[in-house]
Chains A and B, each alone.
Chain A
């Protein structure tokens, strides 16, 4: 087991299999497509510019560099939290205002936030592999790869 300590952005605990990308995520482009808004309501990334195209991120620990694009990001993250199809947690190299907002909104308004840790160093990103089982404690900033 390997442990890393990052910075708490949004507290809470979460665990799940890692989904890892080196590309920034545009949540609006990813989740405002027909596949996500019509019945079935999956949390599948539908941004054709992205290497996670077609991946369902529900219940995962999503590992990515940063969040880009539209200020609708919060609508999408709030909605997937509200519907209980959000990632179990997120680990990001640089937390921007939109990603943090999205993770916070569900917590404040519905008691269902997405724990979010900011971690800068290469060591974690070099060792984490897609599918690794990860536990995070958003309050202390601890990341454990089991």
Chain B
């Protein structure tokens, strides 16, 4: 069956109203793969009752790992590139997977070079970081965007007040090549208000642990955390955990994030549900088995130069007892490498990388237990324990 025939059948069932130029793409005017990209967005929108497709300001893609045993995604990307499709809005991309770390990673990520040339043909901004929102791709308050990467979606929605759903891999590509996204969910005011008030009774704040517990508890509702002066890096790390243990796309912090000037505004009234998270809850997350730890990882989501500098201070003049990695935003790693603290961290035995620890580490000895202060990495990586930052430094023997 030809694509035009298939899309014809589809048009008759369609309830969403499309602009004439988008109808033309759907009919196959820009090629078969572009027609299917448009059809994907229409089907996606209709599943959630969207009435129209709206233009977006930018895209961020999650599919940055060329995983050999998977094929469908790469075939589709190749079809779009072969047809000459181009991203219609600025489009950034997640981190590289650490292909060159060892022979097994080279086998697993065997599609990496082909994947990167495909993205380059489509017109990617090669930032190679999940943390695109500090420099490479910074949306403004109220901007409609179509991002993937759960931690980036959440930062853009929560800390910047931009508007995106949690778009899946490939949905993100369809948004980028068409410059459109269906209007539903977090693009609409009514879904952005708070649902659950999170009270905090905490003496020693540990943002990733707090995020992990909130995600597990609220799952996909919008939490509003009582005022706490989180830094942008703390919002990043707390959000990354919340979007792994749960499906949270948007959270607010009273008086900190842009859509939560006060509790009354963010809840549009008063909260229907309240939860309380205590110091004991945070402490229960921390590893009790630190003697099994063989590797300590920092940086998921990837670290900024400021985060790396603050941690490097703690390693300066000492030697780490275990292998320790800093995984950094590539552009920020270049800045960090120019500093004296980088040299001190290296002398202490710290390895500094710009890849994704989640992709690069699954292949390792079973006895090789990882300790991390990342709630996200802890969720995804098998044989991993969570520790507050000081627990991680203690395991390295520098505290």
Residues of A within 8 A of B (CB): 9-10, 24, 26, 28-29, 32-34, 37-38, 41, 46, 48-49, 65-75, 78-79, 81-82, 94-98, 100-102, 104-110
A81→B71 CA distance, assembly (Å):
11
Given contacts A29-B379, A48-B382, A67-B247, contact A96 B166 (CB under 8 A): yes
Given contacts A68-B220, A75-B169, A75-B170, contact A104 B43 (CB under 8 A): yes
Name 26 interchain pairs, CB-CB below 8 A, sorted by A.
A10-B43, A10-B47, A24-B247, A26-B244, A34-B363, A68-B215, A69-B380, A71-B153, A72-B169, A74-B168, A74-B169, A74-B170, A75-B169, A95-B47, A97-B44, A97-B165, A98-B166, A101-B44, A101-B170, A104-B40, A104-B44, A105-B40, A105-B168, A108-B39, A109-B36, A109-B76
Excluding A37-B70, A68-B245, A82-B72, 16 further A-B contacts by CB distance (< 8 Å) are: A28-B380, A37-B108, A68-B220, A68-B244, A69-B243, A71-B169, A71-B172, A73-B169, A78-B72, A78-B170, A96-B166, A96-B220, A104-B44, A108-B39, A109-B72, A109-B76
A78→B36 CA distance, assembly (Å):
14
A102→B171 CA distance, assembly (Å):
9
What chain A residues lie within 8 Å of B165 (beta carbons)? 97
A34→B39 CA distance, assembly (Å):
33
A122→B247 CA distance, assembly (Å):
22
B180 at interface by CB-CB < 8 Å: no
Which residue in A33, A79, A100 is a CB contact (below 8 Å) of B72? A79
Which residue in B72, B108, B167, B382 is a CB contact (below 8 Å) of A110? B72
A68→B242 CA distance, assembly (Å):
10
Contact between chains at B380 and A101 (CB < 8 Å): no
What chain A residues lie within 8 Å of B382 (beta carbons)? 33, 46, 48
How many residues of B are counted as interface, with CB atoms below 8 angstroms from the partner's CB atoms?
43
What chain A residues lie within 8 Å of B246 (beta carbons)? 24, 68
Which chain A residue lies CB-closest to B165?
A97
B55 at interface by CB-CB < 8 Å: no
Contact between chains at B244 and A98 (CB < 8 Å): no
329-371 of chain B: CB within 8 A of chain A: 362-363
Which chain A residue lies CB-closest to B381?
A29
B148 at interface by CB-CB < 8 Å: yes
B269 at interface by CB-CB < 8 Å: no
Which chain A residue lies CB-closest to B35?
A108
Selected interface stretch from B61-69, B121-129, B308-316: B61-69
Contact between chains at B220 and A66 (CB < 8 Å): yes
40-68 of chain B: CB within 8 A of chain A: 40, 43-44, 47-48, 62-63, 67
Which residue in A37, A38, A49, A101 is a CB contact (below 8 Å) of B171? A101
Q: How far is the CB of A69 from chain B (nearest CB, A)?
A: 6
Contact between chains at A72 and B44 (CB < 8 Å): no
A24→B382 CA distance, assembly (Å):
18
Which chain B residue lies CB-closest to A68?
B247
B385 at interface by CB-CB < 8 Å: no
A28→B44 CA distance, assembly (Å):
20
Listed from nearest, the 4 A-B pairs whose CB atoms lie closest are A74-B168, A101-B168, A82-B72, A71-B148
A62→B87 CA distance, assembly (Å):
36
Contact between chains at A108 and B36 (CB < 8 Å): yes
Contact between chains at A109 and B40 (CB < 8 Å): yes
